[in-house]
Amino acid sequence: MLKIAFVCLGNICRSPMAEAVFKHLLDERGLSDRVIVDSFGVSDEEEGNGIYPLALKTLENHGITAKHTAKKITATDMAEFDYVMVMELRHRGTILCMTRGEYADRVKPLCKDRDIVDPWYTRDFEKSYADIKACCMSLLDELITQGKI
């Protein structure tokens, strides 16, 4: 079973949105039983909190329901997941510091050419959602083409 983790800073906005969008795309294609999807933060500041209300509302505006409790990624998680998709390149740096460089090949930016902007500061949750959706669709297509799913 392929295991994919999405990672942002607090695990209350972008990464739980990516988790929910990717699960929704898998569901639409009848592939939900082939992949385990979860999300994490690189910080523990929001640990225990639910999805930020505006992030949840944005998902719901697009017909996606979600439930998640924020948690910080650990070295144990890093050993478990095949793909760790980060919203910003600096999150990759934080994770590689934590694992002392181990599993570096698993940690990739969700968006290849730029960071997924943080709606916590822009307040533009629709823009982040659109970026996340486009990148999740590309990721899913790539994994299917490569025969990983």
Of the residues 4, 5, 6, 9, which one makes contact with ligand 4NP according to CB under 6 A = 9
Phi-psi region of 45 (alpha: psi -120 to 50; beta: other; left: phi over 0): alpha
Which tokens sit at 9? Answer: 């800073």
> Which of 14, 111, 135, 136 is labelled catalytic?
14
Nearest CA among 145, 144, 136 for reference residue 39: 136
Does the footprint of ligand 4NP cover residue 133 (CB under 6 A)?
Answer: no
Considering the candidates 34, 82, 115, 118, report the single residue annotated as catalytic.
118
Neighbouring C-alpha atoms within 13 Å toward the C-beta of 26: 19
Per CB under 6 A, 12 contacts ligand 4NP: yes
When asked if residue 99 is in the footprint of ligand 4NP (CB under 6 A), the reply is no
- Active-site residue, 135 included: no
Contact residues: ligand 4NP, CB under 6 A: 8-14, 45-46, 118, 120
